[in-house]
Amino acid sequence: MPMAYVVRAAGSELSENQVIQFVAGQVAPYNKVRKMSFIDTIPKLAAGKILQKDLVSQRKYQLVSKL
């Protein structure tokens, strides 16, 4: 299931619904974002690649902490 991780600009009033609607207008229906999360920073390697495993582990921690 597609999930977006968004870093807000300082002072931004961006909402989840605004992001989901914007992405829905830009991508095919099967790629629409159904879930999203605002985070402080996107974890990256020194080479600039995104650490997807860290994002997944953060999401798992959030889900477990809600239980």
Contacts of 31 (CB under 8 A, 6+ apart): 2
Amino acid at 64: V
User: What per-residue confidence (pLDDT) applies to 66?
Assistant: 74
Domains defined along the chain, listed by start:
3-66 (3.30.300.30)
- Alpha helix locations (H) across 1-67? 16-24, 52-66
Pick the more confident residue, 53 or 62: 53
pTM of the model: 0.72
Query: Which pLDDT tens digit goes with each residue over 16-61?
Result: 999 999 999 999 999 898 888 899 999 999 999 999 999 988 888 8
